[in-house]
Structure formats: structure tokens, C-alpha cells
């Protein structure tokens, strides 16, 4: 056991990331309004540097810090690089949007950087309270980000719901943690598993504590029945923040859950059997309800919200399938997180590009997009096919891998349910594709006032603030993300090698 | 040429995909050049599939053109292993022929034709893939790849049918087809996972058909397991093969689709389902197949009769052919279900023969519809006066489909009947009744549409274009060639049918 501060240098990337966020805040004070977008580029440059730094410095490292509160291993490195990479792309997709529709640009990027810090710590914490604090850092940033469109009532409503339910779920989680501590006397994941293995009899209070902890995490990953906040928050949030909710925060919550389950519960085999069943039921309900309710959506943001709930159900099925002697399920979860995030990035980047030029977000508005903007339509269509689980896109490979892992762990029924609900999901993904490719453009109502004063879309955005065509930046982001989707769909092997190493850090196997 | 053999199948799958990629980057305001490029790509595919078929050594038999690529490693080990036998070789040739024909006659598609050819070639690649792989994962991968483009192909370029009282829109046909096929494929997916888990319990966690086949031969799959997994494969693949009562997507989808897509879909894609039942079902689960064959052959018989009766009552030319496809796929299913080497051999030949025949029919109907803008057989009459060659080709295709000796359909159906006579006598009689019903609706259609007096309104019709005549003529020659001299086809098919387990 090392001292508390002995190898503190391993946390350099985190300290640097916090410094970067403060730097962005500070520079913001001195930049004139028309140069604020430089902050985005500063953040992107900083994050890129940090990715290189983390990769060079921490490659193959397997240490724990602060007496086992934080782990610097392949698992946390994998997620660090993943989160920072996703952060870069989220910032790149938001530059145009923020410039066109939001004010206070500097804080926007700083908040994203702070939330990435929270996510990084979540992936490497192996103790309940540390994890809780990291989760709160992420959540607080997100509360502000969701409300960032200050003048939009929907943004405020979504954020309010998100804050109330988020605070509520945090409280539940904290209560659960306190009950676990009161019965076992420990909060470190490995101590929990040791205590569970050693205990002859488990007090009901511990069961309640673990249940409350899972409920709290269930809110964060928006598992049914704890999902009600998600559609409103997704709909109200500014578009890039919606993308960030779907891509970043969900993956971070799963990174935490995966390490907690793998290190804390799975080693206690007898007890894990019972929890597996509960989680698998939760997963089944989540995927079915998410997909069924998504069928009725007319707003593309809400559609993506329910789709992300359904996908959380798939990943949760992978969590239920974790076993001591095989990395298959944890590989599957990580592969799914990467593939799902990259696919979502394609969809959202294209939707944001569409919003920047049209100000619209209803599915029915997207008629004729394939004629007007073939590239955007093709990106959305490929993203939707990928989310629906069709080859040659990432969605097929990741689903096949994950569902095989679920079946292999003895949950063939759950894999079957997941496959079946994938079919349901294909229907609503196809509806979007149908709108873009088969329907023709909706008839524009003639402008009542001169073009300058005209408002468009749900948000009532002045037409003057719309862009004429998608920026080169967004198009390049789309091209890169699309290439990644195809790469994961056709040849995921190199990615899987990295994931395998990360898996071994939390599940050494037998 | 040894190097060629190793790379041939990989190139065959890759050529249409790369062609699609290339076309994606063509400027969209040059539809003619896009069409030329698509012809070139499909032409290369056709030549490759011809060479592969010709170079398949029927004396040696077994799987040839073998090649394995590592795809992902442990713990989930999946390789891309390629190889074809005498059952897949004719089907690869079939896909090459129909794809080339379909691209050629798509000259008339000018609206967004770049997207059209990208999707059509992706479909072709998927079909080649299914026939060429020796691995459950990639079989499923390419199976889905072949289904994926259908929605847009039908939805964007298809046509709606007005029935007077109601309208069958192309969106309806496209969505119905897509949901049915994906619903079928989820059964297949679940069954694949079940096989994997079972094999993994037996110590061989693998998707490779070769090692799973070895496992099946050594009796590692228990009878109970086989009995509950086989129906998943049977129904799952069966949906794509038009198995009654899951066939209703097929007429609606085929009618809504543009001509080239109908050709490929009825001609080749439906064969994927039947092929899947043979390749996966019969090979891996022989006991399950044995137990479920009475069900399959009964459903197949219903297919034959139900399809034929439905075709008789249709008034839309394309629906008649759509239902006749359902009926003819019934023979394929019956042939497979006999588990008799003549019956199964007949089923495989029927797949090839029906593929060419039905593609030809859809081509000709498309040619008529393009000119007359109507497909109602009560309205169309005496077309042979104006469209002499089209009418002649249609007559040949129709006669092949009702099983006239000297055309390919006769040999195939005769073999299926023989196989059925040896196993399920009463059903064989019903199947022959089905063939008689085919004669009724085909001859009725020929008489109504092509013979007799011609209305004045059809005076302006012109015969098929040079391309339509050329492609149609080639198909007719194939039908006659296989009908007169089936040996080159049969010796390839038989060498692999003979070694199927459970026959």
C-alpha cells in the first residue's frame, strides 16, 4: 500500500484538465465577443494534448492512489481517452451552434471541460464516495448546460426537471451508500466484494442499500422506470448538449457502473446471481419500453431520447451478463459504448448541421432532405441504420458482440428480447429515413412579415441567424465520424484489442 | 491460377461494394456515366461469377476456393472464412447474371440514379456474401446487408398500385417487406446465438460452419436442442423464401418495387432463405430437420396451391407473377423438405431456374408497364401484335414456369415431384395439381394479354428496347439450355447434395 500522495503525478492529466477549464474561463474575460470561438479551439487543442499526454504517460500503468480510492489502470485510461476524444468532437460540433444561437460562449466550453473531468474521475474511482463526487461534478455541469438556452422556456423546463430528478436520485444514491457503509463498514469496491464473500448472512439493510445505489445509478443511465427526465431534458437542451447527454454522460455512468459491478459485486458469485436476475429484468423492461414509446415521437430530439433509453437497456443487459471468468460481457459493453457513441455523433452532428440551416427539429420538417442536402440525409440515414443494428455499420457488429455475450452468460431470453426490440426500433428509425428520402419537402407557408423579422421552428428562431449551408467544420466532423462508424462495423479488431486490455484491468479472470 | 482461387470469392464480394463506393463519389448530374460505371461493375461481377462457376471442380466436390481471414480474436473468435460448394456455385452464377441484367435494364431510371445503383450494388454484394461464406456471423452479416437497401429501393423508386377501392402504396410495400424480413432475421439471429451457446458448452465457442458442422456430425447437439432451434431457422429463413403463411410481404413488395429490384428480389433474394435452410438448418441440425420436415413440406404444399390459386384471381400482371413466385418457392421448400437427394437436388435447380424465369417475367412486365402505364390483364389485350418479341419471351417464361419439357422448369419440378413421390405420396399429388393450376393462370394470362384482338389504344405501343430484348433473349437461352442439357448444372449440384447430412 502506497502513501496518500506518493504517486500523485499519475493524476497529471486530471490536474491539467482542471487547469485547462480554468484557463478557458480566464481567457474568456479578455476576449472580445466576436473572437469567443477561439475558446473552443483552445479547448480542442488542450484536450488533444491531454489525450497524447495521458496515452504516453499512463500506458500500461496499473497503480492505485489515495489508498485505493482511485485506480490508474488500462480501464481508466481507455475511458479517459474515449471521453476526451468525444469531448473534442462535441466541442467541434457545437462551435457553429453556440455562435449562432447561444450567448456566454466561454462558460459553455469551460463547463464541458469540467464535466469531462468529472467523467474521467468516474471511470477511475473505485470507491463509492469518490464516485459520487465525480458524478455530481458531471451532473452539475450538465444541469447548467441543459439550461444554457436561457431565453427558451423549453430549455428552462427541461433543466428544472433534470435538476429536481437529478438531485432526488443523488440523494437516493447517497442514502444507499450510507446504508452500505453502515452495514459493511467499507466503501471501497474491492472491500465490498470481500465483505460480501465473507459474510455468512447479509442483513436486509445491505440489500436495501445496494438497491438504492442501483436506483440512483438507474436514474443517471435513464433506465426504465427511472427515465422520465430524459425526454424533457433532451428536448429542451440546446442541440449539442442533447448530443452530449446521449454520448458522454451516459457512457460515463456506464463506466462507473461497470467498474462497480465488476469489482464490487461479481466476485461475490453467490450474491451476484440474485442481482443478475434483477438487473436483467430492469434491462428487459428498459429496452422494450424505450423502443415502444419511441414509436410515438414526432420530435427528433425526443425520438433520440427514447432511442438512448432503449440502448441503455441493451447495455444494461450486458451488465447483467458480467461473469467472473470471462471478459466477453465487459468487452461487449465497452465496444457497444464506443460504437453507440460514434454512431450517435454522426446522427447528432448531421442533425445539428440541419438545425443550423433550418432551425427545425420535427421529423415532419425533414421531408425532401435527401434532395436538398444529400450528404446530411445520407449521414442521418446511415446513422439510423447503424442504430437499428444493420451491417456494414457499427451498430451491427456491436449488437452482435454484446448480445452474444448476453446469451453466452445464460441469458438467451434476454438476448432474444433485445433482438426483438431491435426490430421495433428499426421501425421508427425507418420513419425518419422515409421522411427524408421518400416524402417531398413540406410546403413553406408564405412569410407574413419581411424576411428579417421572420421566426422559424419550435424555438422561434429569427431566420436571419440561420446559416446558409452546413459549415466545412461540421462536414469534416461528419466525414470522420462516418469513417469511424464504418471502421467499427467492418473491422473492429484493433479496437477490441485495446478493450480487451481494459477489461482485464477490472476483471482479471481466472 | 492458384492465387486467383484463393482471392476469387473475396474479390467477388468486394467488387460491387467498391463499385458502390466509387459511384457515391460520381457527380450526380451525369446519370448516363453513372449507369455505365454500374454496368462495368456488374459486368466484372458477372465475369467473376462465371469463372468461379466454371472453375468449380465437380469431380473433386466439397468446398473449394477456400480462404480464411482473421476478423476478431478471443474471447469472441470470428473469422471470415470463404468457400463454396456445388449448392452455392449455381446461386452465385445466378446472382451474377440477374444483377448484370438488372443494372442493364435500369437505363430508364434517371431520378437520383446514383443512389439507386449504390443501393443495388450493395444488395448484390450482400447476396454474393451469403452464398460465399462459411461462417454463421458473416452469413448473417451479408444476409442483413442484402435486406437493408430494399426499403429505400422500393420506397423511392417503386410504384403504387391502385385497386379502385384501396391503394397499395410503395411505402406500404417497402415497410411491410422490411419488417417481415427483419422479423425473420431476428429468429435466425436468436437461433445462431442458441447454436453458439450450445457449441460453447460443448467446448467449441465458434461461429465457423466448418467446426460447427464437425460438432454436429459427432452428435454434440442433442435432439431436444435441435428440435427447438430448427424451427427458428426454418421460419426465420422461410420468411425470406416466401414460406406460407409469412409470404404476404412478397407480392406486395415485388409489385411495389422498380423492375430491376423485383428481378433481383424475386430472382435471387428469396433464394437466400431456401439456401439458409439447406446450409444452416440441414447441415447443423439434421435431427431437427428430420423432425420438422413434415411441417415444412406441408407448408410448402400450401405455398404451391395457395400461391397458384391467388395468382389465378389476380388481375394485375405483376401480382400474378408475385403470387406465382410464392407458388414456385413452394416447390423449392417441398424439395428441401423431402430430404431425398433427388428432391433436394431438384430444389436447388429450381432455385436457379426460377431465379432466371421470374427475373425474365418481371423484366417483361416492366417493359409493358413502361409503355402502356397499366398492368391490368382485363384492359391489356392483343399485345403480341405490337410487342412481338416481348410476347414471345413472355410465352417462353410462362411455359418454363408451368413446367413444359425442354425448359429448365420441367427438369427442376420433375425432380421435386420424384423426390416427393418417394417420400410423401399424397403431397406429391397435390403438388402436381399445383402445376396444373399454374398452367391455368399462365395460359389465361397469355391468352388475355398477348393474344386475341388488339384495342386501338395499344396501337402506339412499341416492342422492347434493344437492351430489354438482349437481356430477355439471354435469359431465354439460359432457360432453354438448362432445360435441354441440365448436366453441367446438375453434376455440380449433385456432388454437394449427395454429401448433405441426413439425406
Q: pLDDT, tens digit, for every residue of A501-510?
A: 888 888 887 5
Q: At what angle do helices A12-30 and A105-124 cross, to 10 degrees?
A: 170
Residues in chain A with CB shorter than 8 Å from the CB of B141 are: 391-392, 396
Mark yes or no for CB contact B196/A491 under 8 Å. no
* Distance separating alpha carbons of residues B375 and B315, to the nearest angstrom: 8
- Residue B102's nearest CA partner among B38, B12, B159 is B38
B190 contact residues in A (CB cutoff 8 A): 412, 415-416, 419
Cβ proximity of A361 and A299 under 8 Å: yes
For residue A497, which residues of chain B lie inside 8 Å, CB to CB? Answer: 73
Closest Cβ opposite residue A423 in set B70, B183, B205: B183
The pair phi, psi for residue A71, each rounded to 5°, is: -115, 130
CA distance B320 to B307: 9
Contacts of A389 (CB under 8 A, 6+ apart): A395, A396, A399, A422, A425, A426
CB contact under 8 Å between B76 and A401, yes or no, is yes
Residue range B317-345: average pLDDT?
Answer: 88
Output B402 or A307, whichever has higher pLDDT: A307
* B298-318 pLDDT, tens digit each: 898 998 899 888 888 888 888
CB contact under 8 A, A400 and B137: yes
d(CA A87, CA B349): 57
In this complex, is the C-beta atom of B436 within 8 Å of any C-beta atom belonging to chain A?
Answer: no
Task: Tell me the residues of chain A between 320 and 379 that have a Cβ less than 8 Å away from chain B.
Answer: 326-328, 331, 370-371, 374
CA separation for the pair A388, B195 (Å, rounded): 24
Q: Reduce the DSSP state of residue B53 to 3 states and report it.
A: helix
- For B421, half-sphere exposure in the C-beta direction (CA atoms, 13 angstrom radius) is 10
Name the B residues in 110-129 with CB < 8 Å from any A CB: 112, 115
B144/A390 touch (CB, cutoff 8 Å), yes or no = yes
Residue A154 has pLDDT above 60, yes or no: yes
Contact present, B328 and B70 (Cβ < 8 Å): no
The proportion of chain B whose per-residue pLDDT surpasses 90, expressed as a percent, equals: 14
Where do we find the cell 479472470?
Answer: A509
Closest by Cβ to A493, choosing from B72, B75, B142: B72
Residues of B in contact with A429 (CB under 8 A): none
β-bridge partners, A188: A127
Rounded CA separation A498/A79 (Å): 11
Say if residues B78 and B118 touch (Cβ distance below 8 Å). Answer: no
Cα separation of B231 and A48, whole Å? Answer: 53
Residues of chain A in contact with residue B144, where contact means CB-CB under 8 angstroms, are: 390-391, 396
Q: Which residues of B touch A401 (CB under 8 A)?
A: 76
Angle between helices A394-408 and B136-147 (to 10 degrees): 140
Question: Model confidence at A1, in pLDDT bands (50, 70, 90)?
Answer: very low
**A477-498: average pLDDT:** 90
CB A121 within 8 A of CB A66: no
Nearest residue in A to B122, CA atom: A392
Taking the C-alpha atoms of residue A109 and residue A87, their distance in angstroms, rounded to an integer, is: 10
Cβ-defined contact of A400 to B171 (cutoff 8 Å):
no
Residue with the larger pLDDT of the pair B373 and A176: A176
Grid cell in block for residue B238: 422461410
Give the one of A328, A374, A437 whose C-beta lies nearest to B156's C-beta: A437
Q: What is the mean pLDDT of residues A369-377?
A: 86
Residues 202-231, chain B, touching A (beta carbon < 8 A):
205
Cβ contact, residue pair A438, B171, below 8 Å:
yes
Partner A contacted by B144 (CB < 8 A): yes
A496 CB neighbours in chain B (<8 A) are 72-73
Mutate to test the interface with B, among A391, A402, A503 (most CBs of B within 10 A): A391
Which position has the grid cell 465487459?
Answer: A330
Cis status of the peptide bond prior to B75, with omega within 30 of 0: yes
Whether the predicted pLDDT of B424 surpasses 50: yes
- Which residue, chain included where needed, has cell 417483361? B364
Nearest by CB to B75, from A327, A374, A381: name it. A327
Yes or no, beta carbons of B194 and A412 under 8 Å apart: yes
CB contact under 8 A, A419 and B186: yes
All residues of chain A having their beta carbon less than 8 Å from the beta carbon of residue B147 are 390
Look at residue A5 in the predicted model and tell me its pLDDT: 67
> Parallel, antiparallel, or unpaired for β B64-72 and A461-462?
unpaired
B155/A437 touch (CB, cutoff 8 Å), yes or no: yes
Q: Match 422556456 to its residue by C-alpha cell.
A: A153
pLDDT, residue B24, reads 86
> Which member of A415, A491, A493 has the closest CB to residue B193?
A415
Q: What is the mean pLDDT of residues B473-502?
A: 85
State the DSSP H helix or E strand holding residue B81, giving kind and residue range, or none if neither: strand B78-84
Q: Give the cell for residue B297.
A: 413440406
Q: Which three cell numbers stand for residue B210?
A: 466448418
Confidence band of B109 (pLDDT split at 50, 70, 90): confident
pLDDT 10s digits, A204-231 = 888 899 899 999 999 888 888 888 888 8
Contacts of A327 in chain B (CB under 8 A): 75
Percent over 70 (pLDDT), chain A: 95
Asked if pLDDT for residue B410 goes beyond 90, the answer is: no
Tell me the three state secondary structure of residue A460. Answer: coil
pLDDT tens-digit readout, A87-128: 999 999 998 888 888 888 888 999 999 999 999 999 999 889
CB-nearest partner of A396 from B144, B196, B200: B144
Using CB atoms, which residue from A371, A396, A496 is nearest to B141? A396
The three-class DSSP label of residue B332 is helix
In this structure, are residues B16 and B45 in contact, taking their beta carbons and an 8 Å threshold?
yes
The Cα B414–Cα A186 span in angstroms is 78
Min Cα distance A265 → chain B (Å) is 22
Cell of A372: 436538398
Q: Write down the mean pLDDT value for chain A.
A: 87
B418: distance to nearest CA of chain A, Å? Answer: 40
Distances (CA, A) of B307 to A128, B257, B425: 65, 19, 21
Nearest-CB residue to A408 (from B28, B151, B197): B197
* Whether B274 contacts B351, CB under 8 Å: yes
Given pLDDT bands bounded at 50, 70 and 90, which one contains residue B98?
very high
Query: SS3 sequence, B415-475?
Result: HHHHHHHHHCHHHHHHHHHHHHHHHHHHHHHHHHHHCCCCCHHHCCCCCCCHHHHHHHHHH
- Overall average pLDDT of the A70-75 stretch: 87
Most B CBs within 10 Å, among A324, A376, A390, A399, to test the B interface: A390
- Rounded Cα distance, A43 and B282, in Å: 59
Angle between helices B341-372 and B487-497 (to 10 degrees): 130
Q: With helix as H, strand as E and coil as C, how does B195-245 read?
A: HHHHHHHCCCCCCEHHHHHHHHHCCCCCHHHHHHHHHHHHHHHHHHCCCCC
pLDDT value at residue B30 = 83
pLDDT digits (tens, 9 = 90+) for B40-63: 999 999 999 999 888 888 888 778
Q: Which residues of A touch B148 (CB under 8 A)?
A: 385, 390-391
Give the distance from residue A420's alpha carbon to the nearest chain B alpha carbon, in angstroms: 6
Domain extents in chain A: 274-510
Cis status of the peptide bond prior to A78, with omega within 30 of 0: no
Residues contacting A443, CB < 8 A, separation 6+: none
- Minimal CA separation from A397 to chain B, in Å: 9
**DSSP string for residues in A138-205:** HHHHHHHHHT-STT-HHHHHHHHHHHHHHHHHHHHHHHHHHHHHHHHS--BHHHHHHHHHH-SS--HH
Q: Which among A371, A400, A434 has CB closest to B155? A: A434
B152 chain-A contacts, CB cut-off 8 A: 381, 433, 437
Local confidence band at A132 (pLDDT 50, 70, 90 cut-offs): very high
Residue-level pLDDT at B459? 73
| Structure confidence at residue B1 as a pLDDT band (50, 70, 90) | low
Decide if A416 and B190 are in contact by the 8 Å CB cutoff: yes
Please identify among residues 134-163 of chain A the ones whose CB lies closer than 8 Å to any CB of chain B. none
Give CA separation, A86 vs A246, A257, B399, in Å: 11, 19, 62
Question: What count of other Cβ atoms lies within 10 Å of the Cβ of residue A463?
Answer: 15
Euclidean distance between CA atoms A430 and B181, whole angstroms: 14
> How many CB contacts within 8 angstroms connect chain A with chain B?
93
Select from B23, B197, B200, B207 the residue whose CB has the most chain A CBs within 10 Å, as the one to mutate to test that interface: B197
Whether A416 has its CB under 8 Å from any CB of chain B: the answer is yes
B247-267 mean pLDDT: 87
Confidence check: pLDDT of A451 > 70:
no
Residue A450 has pLDDT above 60, yes or no: no
DSSP string, A276-303: HHHHHHHHHHHHHHHHHHHTT--BHHHH
Those residues whose C-beta lies under 8 Å from the C-beta of residue B147, and which sit 6 or more positions away, are A390, B126, B178, B181, B182, B185, B240, B269
Cell of A270: 453467490
Residue B124 is predicted with a pLDDT of 92
Of A114, A130, A119, which is closest to residue A17 (Cα–Cα)? Answer: A114
Is A403–B193 a contact, with Cβ atoms under 8 angstroms apart? yes
**B175 contacts in chain A (CB < 8 Å):** 427, 430, 434
Rounded to the nearest integer, the mean pLDDT of chain B is 86
A326–B75: do the CB atoms touch at under 8 Å? yes
Q: Which residue among A391, A427, A492 sits closest to B145, beta carbon to beta carbon?
A: A391
E strand intervals along A322-473: 455-456, 461-462
pTM of the model: 0.91
Strand B167-168 and strand B161-162: the pairing is antiparallel
Could you read off the pLDDT of A412-428 as tens digits, one per residue? 899 999 999 988 898 89
Q: How confident is the model at residue A22 (pLDDT cuts 50, 70, 90)?
A: very high
Amino acid at each position: 500500500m502506497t502513501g496518500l500522495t506518493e504517486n500523485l503525478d499519475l493524476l497529471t492529466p486530471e490536474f491539467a484538465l482542471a487547469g485547462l477549464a480554468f484557463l478557458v474561463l480566464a481567457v474568456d474575460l479578455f476576449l472580445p465577443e466576436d473572437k469567443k470561438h477561439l475558446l473552443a479551439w483552445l479547448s480542442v487543442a488542450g484536450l488533444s494534448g491531454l489525450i497524447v499526454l495521458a496515452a504516453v504517460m499512463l500506458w500500461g500503468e496499473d497503480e492505485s492512489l489515495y489508498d485505493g480510492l482511485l485506480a490508474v489502470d488500462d480501464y481508466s485510461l481507455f475511458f479517459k481517452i474515449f471521453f476526451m476524444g468525444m469531448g473534442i468532437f462535441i466541442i467541434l460540433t457545437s462551435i457553429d451552434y453556440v455562435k449562432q444561437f447561444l450567448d456566454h460562449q466561454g462558460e459553455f466550453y469551460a463547463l464541458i471541460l469540467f464535466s469531462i473531468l468529472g467523467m474521467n474521475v468516474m471511470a477511475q474511482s473505485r470507491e463509492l464516495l469518490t464516485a459520487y463526487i465525480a458524478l455530481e461534478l458531471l451532473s452539475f455541469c450538465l444541469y447548467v448546460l441543459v439550461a444554457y438556452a436561457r431565453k427558451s422556456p423549453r430549455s428552462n423546463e427541461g433543466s428544472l426537471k433534470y435538476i429536481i430528478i437529478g438531485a432526488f436520485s443523488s440523494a437516493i444514491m447517497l442514502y444507499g451508500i450510507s446504508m452500505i457503509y453502515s452495514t459493511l463498514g467499507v466503501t471501497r469496491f474491492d472491500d465490498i466484494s470481500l465483505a460480501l464473500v465473507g459474510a455468512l448472512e447479509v442483513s436486509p439493510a445491505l440489500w436495501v442499500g445496494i438497491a438504492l445505489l442501483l436506483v440512483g445509478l438507474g436514474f443517471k443511465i435513464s433506465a426504465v422506470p427511472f427515465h422520465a427526465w430524459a425526454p424533457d431534458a433532451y428536448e429542451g437542451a440546446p442541440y449539442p448538449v442533447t448530443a452530449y447527454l446521449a454520448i458522454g454522460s451516459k457512457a460515463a455512468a456506464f463506466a462507473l457502473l461497470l467498474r462497480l459491478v465488476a469489482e464490487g459485486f461479481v466476485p461475490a458469485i453467490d450474491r451476484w446471481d440474485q442481482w443478475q436476475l434483477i438487473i436483467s429484468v430492469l434491462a428487459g423492461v428498459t429496452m422494450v419500453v424505450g423502443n415502444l414509446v419511441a414509436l410515438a415521437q414526432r420530435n427528433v430530439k425526443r425520438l433520440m431520447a427514447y432511442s438512448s433509453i432503449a440502448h441503455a437497456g441493451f447495455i444494461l443487459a450486458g451488465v447483467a451478463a458480467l461473469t467472473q471468468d470471462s471478459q466477453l460481457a465487459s468487452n461487449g459493453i465497452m465496444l457497444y459504448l464506443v460504437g453507440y457513441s460514434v454512431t450517435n455523433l454522426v446522427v447528432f452532428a448531421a442533425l445539428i448541421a440541419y438545425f443550423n440551416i433550418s432551425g427545425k427539429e420535427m421529423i415532419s420538417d425533414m421531408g425532401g432532405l435527401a434532395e436538398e442536402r444529400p450528404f446530411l440525409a445520407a449521414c442521418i440515414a446511415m446513422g439510423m441504420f447503424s442504430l437499428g443494428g444493420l451491417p456494414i455499420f457499427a451498430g451491427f457488429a456491436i449488437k452482435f458482440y454484446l448480445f452474444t455475450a448476453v446469451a453466452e452468460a445464460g441469458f438467451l431470453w434476454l438476448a432474444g428480447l433485445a433482438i426483438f426490440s431491435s426490430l421495433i426500433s428499426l421501425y421508427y428509425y425507418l420513419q425518419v429515413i422515409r421522411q427524408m428520402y421518400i416524402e417531398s419537402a413540406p410546403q413553406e407557408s408564405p412569410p407574413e412579415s419581411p424576411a428579417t423579422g421572420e421566426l422559424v421552428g419550435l424555438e422561434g428562431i429569427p431566420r436571419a441567424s440561420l446559416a446558409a449551408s452546413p459549415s466545412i467544420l461540421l462536414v469534416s466532423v461528419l466525414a470522420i465520424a462516418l469513417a469511424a462508424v464504418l471502421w467499427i462495423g467492418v473491422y473492429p479488431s484493433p479496437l477490441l484489442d485495446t478493450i480487451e486490455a481494459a477489461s482485464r484491468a477490472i476483471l482479471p479472470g481466472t | 491460377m492458384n492465387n486467383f482461387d484463393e482471392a476469387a470469392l473475396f474479390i467477388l464480394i468486394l467488387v460491387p461494394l467498391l463499385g458502390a463506393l466509387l459511384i457515391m463519389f460520381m457527380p450526380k448530374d451525369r446519370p448516363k456515366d453513372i449507369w455505365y460505371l454500374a454496368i462495368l461493375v456488374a459486368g466484372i461481377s458477372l465475369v467473376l461469377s462465371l469463372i468461379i462457376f466454371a472453375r468449380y471442380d465437380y469431380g473433386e466436390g466439397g468446398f473449394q476456393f477456400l480462404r480464411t481471414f482473421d476478423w476478431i480474436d478471443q474471447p469472441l473468435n470470428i473469422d471470415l472464412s470463404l468457400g463454396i460448394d456445388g449448392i452455392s456455385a449455381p446461386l452465385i452464377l445466378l446472382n451474377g447474371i440477374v444483377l448484370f441484367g438488372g443494372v442493364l435494364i435500369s437505363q430508364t431510371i434517371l431520378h437520383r440514379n446514383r443512389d439507386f445503383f449504390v443501393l443495388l450494388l450493395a444488395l448484390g454484394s450482400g447476396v454474393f456474401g451469403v452464398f460465399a461464406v462459411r461462417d454463421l456471423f458473416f452469413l448473417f452479416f451479408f444476409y442483413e446487408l442484402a435486406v437493408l437497401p430494399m426499403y429505400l429501393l422500393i420506397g423511392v423508386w417503386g410504384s403504387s398500385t391502385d385497386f379502385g377501392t384501396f391503394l397499395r402504396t410503395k411505402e406500404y410495400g417497402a415497410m411491410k417487406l422490411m419488417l417481415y424480413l427483419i422479423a425473420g432475421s431476428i429468429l435466425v439471429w436468436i437461433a445462431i446465438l442458441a447454436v453458439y451457446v450450445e457449441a460453447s458448452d460443448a467446448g467449441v465457442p465458434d461461429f465457423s460452419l466448418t467446426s460447427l458442422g464437425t460438432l454436429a456430425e459427432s452428435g454434440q447437439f442433442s435432439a431436444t436442442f435441435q428440435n427447438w432451434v430448427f424451427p427458428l431457422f426454418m421460419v426465420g429463413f422461410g420468411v425470406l423464401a416466401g414460406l406460407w403463411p409469412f409470404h404476404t410481404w412478397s407480392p406486395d413488395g415485388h409489385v411495389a418495387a422498380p423492375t430491376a429490384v423485383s428481378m433481383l428480389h424475386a430472382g435471387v433474394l428469396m433464394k437466400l432463405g431456401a439456401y439458409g435452410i439447406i446450409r444452416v438448418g440441414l447441415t447443423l441440425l439434421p435431427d431437427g430437420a428430420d423432425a420438422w420436415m413434415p411441417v415444412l413440406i406441408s407448408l410448402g404444399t400450401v405455398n404451391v396451391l395457395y400461391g397458384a390459386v391467388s395468382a389465378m384471381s389476380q388481375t394485375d400482371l405483376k401480382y400474378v407473377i408475385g403470387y406465382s413466385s410464392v407458388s414456385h418457392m413452394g416447390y423449392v421448400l417441398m424439395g428441401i423438405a423431402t430430404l431425398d437427394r433427388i428432391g433436394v437436388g431438384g430444389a436447388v435447380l429450381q432455385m436457379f431456374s426460377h431465379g432466371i424465369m421470374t427475373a425474365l417475367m418481371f423484366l417483361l412486365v416492366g417493359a409493358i408497364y413502361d409503355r402502356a402505364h397499366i398492368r391490368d390483364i382485363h384492359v391489356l389485350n392483343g399485345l403480341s401484335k405490337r410487342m412481338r418479341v416481348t410476347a414471345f419471351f413472355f410465352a417462353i417464361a410462362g411455359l418454363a414456369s408451368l413446367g413444359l419439357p425442354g425448359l429448365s422448369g420441367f427438369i427442376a419440378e420433375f425432380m421435386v415431384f420424384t423426390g416427393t413421390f418417394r417420400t410423401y405420396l399424397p403431397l406429391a399429388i397435390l403438388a402436381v395439381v399445383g402445376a396444373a393450376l399454374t398452367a391455368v393462370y399462365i395460359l389465361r394470362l397469355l391468352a388475355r394479354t398477348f393474344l386475341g384482338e388488339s384495342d386501338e389504344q395499344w396501337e402506339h405501343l412499341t416492342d422492347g428496347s434493344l437492351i430489354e430484348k438482349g437481356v430477355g433473349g439471354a435469359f431465354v437461352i439460359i432457360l432453354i439450355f438448362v432445360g435441354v442439357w441440365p448436366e453441367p448444372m446438375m453434376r455440380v449440384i449433385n456432388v454437394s447434395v449427395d454429401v448433405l447430412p441426413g439425406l
